[in-house]
Structure 1
Amino acid sequence: MAAPALAQPVIAQNHMVVTSHPAASEAGQAILRAGGSAVDAAIAVQAVLTLVEPQSSGIGGGAFLLHWNPATRELATWDGRETAPAAARGDLFLRDGRPMDFFDAIIGGRAVGVPGVMRMLEEAHRAHGKLPWAELFAPAIRLAEEGFPVSPRLARLLAGFAGTLRRDPGARAIYFTPEGAPLAEGARLRNPALAATLRAIAEEGANALHRGPIAQEIVRAVRGHANPGLMTADDLAGYAPHRGAALCLPYRVFALCGPPPPSGAAVVLQIMGLLGHFDVAGLDPAGLDAAMLISEAGRLAFADRNRFMADPAFIPVPVSGLLDAAYLTARAQMLSADRAIGAPQPGNPRRYGPALASQPPQPEGGTAHMSILDAEGRAVSMTTTVESAFGAHVVVRGFFLNNQLSDFSFLPEMDGRPVANRVEGGKRPRSSMSPMLVFRQGELEAVAGSPGGARIIGYVAQALAALLDWNMDPQAASALPHVGALNAATELERGTAAAGLAAGLIARGAPVDLHEMNSGLNLIRVQRQGEVRRLLGGTDPRREGMVAGD
């Protein structure tokens, strides 16, 4: 059953899957009904999303996964973020010493990172899976062979990017009519090439992508493009996901947890840590005071993000300092509901050593998010991406390659100082993906996350405030008009009630921009009455998601 937009949450007792497409939610639900784990369902969901939502995520991209197992009390993070090829250097996106135009940089092989999502899911399945690996790809293989109707969102994006997509032979064969027109809404889309690739992955595991004929074809597509990249067969074969401990921060009576950098979860935690110094629960969710505090906390946190956040394997990231209670208290004293900060500057967490320059702003693309809870209480919060819409606009064997290297800073240094998130061989680019789990007294309370590029961080923070401070149900929280920030300006969602706050915020000194804020929040809230568990699910009405639960 699907959650109606702007209506009531879906309620279930046994298990729940919330994804950005009905076919993906149905595939995950089928796996859970067959006795699969939350990770099993996530693998089936990712395979289907590769087919039905290729503009957002797929097996040619990367992801962050957060997993909770109540039986062992283990909270683990899995980092399947793409990496830069070993030969990549800081000048990858410079032309005559100047940053390339963003769109020129992202189309083709130059920005393709070594994909990591299938290696990550394979390792997570070894640790947390129940059903055989091969069974998890059956729904996507069947749907790829039989076809599915093109959704309104996919049709709109195919038409919008038809010019570059049409140039790629693989994309042209799948997403265009014989006459060269992009497939329209309702047209039946079949992808036998992807079915064959998924069948190979089902039989051989992630090695099907990282070694052998498919890997060789990926390398040829990257290096042989008119805008060539640097990836080699050794880069693909050598990719390894990271497993580690989650970052957690107390918030009211809750504990908020997400993956460490290079994910965006640390910035979400900073925003929430700043808001924790104020009586957010006593504010009107649609009022000026709430908008000021949420956006100002975001502006401060993004100032720190732009200076410090990068791959911690390459540069020390002062996460403990940025989330230190004393540091957050000092930063929170800069916030006021009455007056905006003039120009937020990064702080100095625990006298951080390296002299770094802040990364200048640049676009970040879209993603997909899934929230899953199985019958035994295991939870998955996973955000997954190919970066911009349709990634690099290069199709290999039925799937799009990512353009994730564009999440690095195009400038390796500013004013003679290095940028933390500069390009380096083997490095993982900074990410905004922020899958989150919420706990209360050691028990799972909520599963949350969203797509949306750099705005993911603000979407997730606002949704957490809606769930935990304003006690909104997941459907109402996902539909709440957006207020956020990307350091420089307070952003209000155009065409919603939030836009009506502009004059009041400007009067308080806030620099205001109105934007389309196309989030895709997928949320689960867990309620308990004794031994009885009640699951509430909500999906963002701005996209095409669905809640499936029993």
Structure 2
Amino acid sequence: MAQRSKNHLAMFGLLVLCAACSPNEKLAPVGRGEPGQGDADAAPDGGGTGAADDLFAELPGLAPTATGRGGAAATVDLRGTLAAIEVLKKGGNAVDAAVAAAGVLGATDPFSCGIGGGGFMLVYLAADNKVVAIDHRETAPSRLEASAFYENGAPIAFDELVTSGLSVGVPGTVRGWSEALRRYGTLGLKDVLQRAIQVAEAGFEVDATFFEQTGRNLARFQAITSSKELFLGPDGEARPVGAVFKNPDLARTYRLIAEGGDKAFYEGEIAAAIVAAVLEPPIEPGSTLDVRPGVIALSDLQDYEARVRPAISTTYRGYTVHGVGLPSSGGITVAEALNLLEGFDLETLTPVEVLHRYLGASRLAFADRGAFLGDPEFVEAPVAGLLSKDYADARRDLIDLAEAPTSAAAPGDPFAFQTDPSPSPRRGQPARNGSARPKNDASDNETTHITVSDAAGNIVSYTCTIESEGGNGVVVPGHGFLLNNELTDFNIPSDPAAPHPNVVEPGKRPRSSMSPTIVLKDGKPEIALASPGGSTIITTVLQILVGYIDLGLPIDKALAAPRISQRNAGDGSSDAETAFLGALEAEGLRALGHVFSDANTTGGEIGAATALRFHGDGTVTAVAEPVRRHGGSAMVERAP
């Protein structure tokens, strides 16, 4: 990257203060770890199982950044990162390591991800110099009609829909893992799930993140018998920091999957337990919580298929940016925003001018996202038009360089920039702004992201989720995992007959914001990244890319920088992290008319990203959050 002027680096100068304002708390060795180094070679041998190569025998310190050789991994949790490194050191590849990490996170980070949910895995195959996406997004049950989301002619209240059987999509995670390993891995489920089984069974100490997440779910966990039994103490309250949390039911479930493969999840006792929990949610006797039943059937689970899809891509200032396509809107929206920004010489601008254009590009891209994007098996979305550089040229002048907007942007006409510009009469018409109620994901800081590479150069950028923090709140009795509430990602028009590309239909996958990203420069890997955070995932990835590519920030600084998010709000306002609101850049943007709300997310945070940076000398830097969600974990296979 070229050197940038000091004022560009000053744009994110607040990040240094932010990273120091709340140091990672020192937790017991069986928690998420203590501040320390991220070199896997530093982990002591012996102890635990007695195996000389047991990285879990005595946990190393928690470090958000590590540089070294061989493979690398970054996740929100020390044990998840260790599981990936362990697989790499034993000869597995990046796909094997990513699944191993995800399995462990299903135990240690159960409110964000797990086998009751789904995700998108973006894989760079070094031998073929190719990027592919594995879509294991949840699907609407075959008997779920749009009318189920209405009562008395009006949409069911969002909060009531979240905690219900109606919000549960057919889980895709296990089939996604199986498909990824079968096609691109070197190990099987039996191999990669062993550490997850051990962690779930042996347990770990509750840390601040786990305690806070339990507390935010307390009311509904107290009302659901299986969730109360697993997550709450004998007093019906959240287990305190330092208490040991064990999940033997999840360990047994993992064993069934390890032995029987994905079929053990989608058929047999696990599938039957999922269906029972959806059809008859296990409500505590006397509870006043209205947990509506869903309509999932055994056949929905048996018929679920993961999809292997080509990655979408765009070029940006000499970089090739790869992402996942529909049914995720993330890659397309990031790419469109980058195309819009490419027409500005950001290197010559002040920090306030750069941020003003970043917010404007995001606003326009989100207008198109809301109008056109949905499951490609149900919607004829104008993807080629949205990714067209000519389309970005035509839209760019709508970014007012003098002042901030005070209303939402209207969608454009990307169909005119496709080979066949005619939209489908039924599905191709843009939705009018505000014609459908999207999910309220401004407050969703959950989901999790795993970034892994191996010594052969393969890379995995993997976002997995159960949707809202704690999913739908229902633990599958006897099996130790929470169900998702992904179907709240569908739009629900106030008029049930109103068309929209993202309305619920049987078998349809709800539109996602997950944005796993892999960036190449001169045909070689440069960075890989993504984040949780509902629709702020898209703006988080976009802001990190602008910080890294345009402002010349090192990847750890670009990732740690205070965030702002513009998602085409009706009043033109943007969300901002608390750390940003007091910055000079915020004052400059306010002078242009920008209005900010303190991000309605956990602790005022937006996202919890992880990333990898690949260097010309063959080393790799792994990066996790230094502060958000109490800090993440980055490790490398061996020291430089």
TM-score by length of structure 1 reads 0.95
Counterpart amino acid of 1:347? G
Which of 312, 320, 323 aligns to 2:384? It is 320
Counterpart amino acid of 1:372? V
Kindly indicate whether residue 321 of structure 2 is the aligned counterpart of residue 244 of structure 1: no
Kindly indicate whether residue 568 of structure 2 is the aligned counterpart of residue 487 of structure 1: yes
Q: 1:235 to 1:7 in 2, by over 3 A?
A: closer
Deviation at 1:202, TM superposition (A): 0.5
Note if contact 1:474-1:539 (Cα within 8 Å) is conserved in structure 2.
Answer: no
Greater CA drift, 350-359 or 177-186: 350-359
Counterpart residue number, 2:551: 470
Counterpart residue number, 1:157: 213
Deviation at 1:2, TM superposition (A): 3.8
Kindly indicate whether residue 341 of structure 2 is the aligned counterpart of residue 275 of structure 1: yes
Q: 1:368 to 1:278 in 2, by over 3 A?
A: same
Kindly indicate whether residue 489 of structure 2 is the aligned counterpart of residue 407 of structure 1: yes
C-alpha separation between the residues in 2 aligned to 1:290 and 1:517?
A: 22
Counterpart amino acid of 1:242? R
Counterpart residue number, 1:542: 628
C-alpha separation between the residues in 2 aligned to 1:86 and 1:233?
A: 10
Deviation at 1:198, TM superposition (A): 0.3
Kindly indicate whether residue 305 of structure 2 is the aligned counterpart of residue 305 of structure 1: no
Deviations 1:511-550 (A, max 9, x none): 432312331110111111xxx3121121122123100112
- Show the 5 A alignment for 1:345-494: 345-351=410-416, 353=423, 354-357=428-431, 358=433, 359-364=436-441, 365=444, 366-396=446-476, 397-411=479-493, 417-488=498-569, 489-494=572-577
Greater CA drift, 505-514 or 231-240: 505-514
Q: 1:139 to 1:329 in 2, by over 3 A?
A: same
| Matched position secondary structure for 1:509 | coil
Deviation at 1:336, TM superposition (A): 3.8
Deviations 1:459-483 (A, max 9, x none): 0000111121222222111111112
Q: 1:157 to 1:22 in 2, by over 3 A?
A: same
Deviation at 1:159, TM superposition (A): 1.3
Greater CA drift, 253-262 or 532-541: 532-541
- Show the 5 A alignment for 1:143-154: 143-154=199-210
Q: Kindly tell me the number of residue pairs found equivalent between the two proteins.
A: 544
Which of 483, 486, 496 aligns to 2:579? It is 496
C-alpha separation between the residues in 1 aligned to 2:414 and 2:430?
A: 13
Kindly indicate whether residue 258 of structure 2 is the aligned counterpart of residue 174 of structure 1: no
Q: Which stretches in structure 2 are left out of the alignment for 5+ residues?
A: 1-36, 40-59, 282-290, 417-421
Note if contact 1:76-1:245 (Cα within 8 Å) is conserved in structure 2.
Answer: yes
C-alpha separation between the residues in 1 aligned to 2:392 and 2:494?
A: 29
| Matched position secondary structure for 1:350 | helix
Deviations 1:433-465 (A, max 9, x none): 000000111111111100001100000000111
C-alpha separation between the residues in 2 aligned to 1:59 and 1:41?
A: 17
Q: Which stretches in structure 1 are left out of the alignment for 5+ residues?
A: none
Kindly indicate whether residue 191 of structure 2 is the aligned counterpart of residue 135 of structure 1: yes
* Aligned residues: CA RMSD: 2.0
Note if contact 1:254-1:440 (Cα within 8 Å) is conserved in structure 2.
Answer: yes
Deviations 1:314-344 (A, max 9, x none): 0111110011111011111222442223431
Counterpart residue number, 2:158: 102
C-alpha separation between the residues in 2 aligned to 1:518 and 1:152?
A: 18
C-alpha separation between the residues in 1 aligned to 2:63 and 2:107?
A: 29
Counterpart residue number, 2:22: none
Counterpart residue number, 1:228: 293
Note if contact 2:38-2:61 (Cα within 8 Å) is conserved in structure 1.
Answer: no
Note if contact 2:574-2:594 (Cα within 8 Å) is conserved in structure 1.
Answer: no
| Matched position secondary structure for 1:196 | helix
C-alpha separation between the residues in 2 aligned to 1:368 and 1:276?
A: 29
| Matched position secondary structure for 1:262 | coil
C-alpha separation between the residues in 2 aligned to 1:327 and 1:122?
A: 39
C-alpha separation between the residues in 2 aligned to 1:35 and 1:361?
A: 44
Normalized per residue, the structure richer in strand is: 1
Counterpart residue number, 2:606: 518
Kindly indicate whether residue 66 of structure 2 is the aligned counterpart of residue 10 of structure 1: yes
C-alpha separation between the residues in 2 aligned to 1:473 and 1:503?
A: 25
C-alpha separation between the residues in 2 aligned to 1:490 and 1:296?
A: 11
| Matched position secondary structure for 2:590 | helix
Q: 1:29 to 1:460 in 2, by over 3 A?
A: same
Greater CA drift, 162-171 or 444-453: 162-171
TM-score by length of structure 2 reads 0.82
Note if contact 2:372-2:429 (Cα within 8 Å) is conserved in structure 1.
Answer: no
Deviation at 1:14, TM superposition (A): 1.0
| Matched position secondary structure for 2:615 | strand
C-alpha separation between the residues in 1 aligned to 2:267 and 2:302?
A: 6
C-alpha separation between the residues in 2 aligned to 1:32 and 1:395?
A: 32
Counterpart amino acid of 2:354? A
Note if contact 2:64-2:624 (Cα within 8 Å) is conserved in structure 1.
Answer: no
C-alpha separation between the residues in 1 aligned to 2:486 and 2:64?
A: 36
C-alpha separation between the residues in 2 aligned to 1:439 and 1:246?
A: 13
Counterpart residue number, 1:255: 320
Deviation at 1:172, TM superposition (A): 1.7
C-alpha separation between the residues in 2 aligned to 1:5 and 1:216?
A: 41
Percent identity between the aligned chains?
34
Note if contact 1:293-1:337 (Cα within 8 Å) is conserved in structure 2.
Answer: yes
Counterpart amino acid of 1:514? D
| Matched position secondary structure for 2:370 | helix
Note if contact 2:373-2:379 (Cα within 8 Å) is conserved in structure 1.
Answer: no
Note if contact 2:447-2:464 (Cα within 8 Å) is conserved in structure 1.
Answer: yes
Larger radius of gyration: 2
Deviation at 1:194, TM superposition (A): 0.2
Deviations 1:60-103 (A, max 9, x none): 10000111111122211100000000111222321112122111
Deviation at 1:6, TM superposition (A): 13
Counterpart residue number, 2:7: none
| Matched position secondary structure for 1:346 | coil
Greater CA drift, 462-471 or 387-396: 462-471
Note if contact 1:439-1:446 (Cα within 8 Å) is conserved in structure 2.
Answer: yes
Which of 132, 147, 160 aligns to 1:91? It is 147
C-alpha separation between the residues in 2 aligned to 1:507 and 1:444?
A: 39
Note if contact 2:38-2:63 (Cα within 8 Å) is conserved in structure 1.
Answer: no
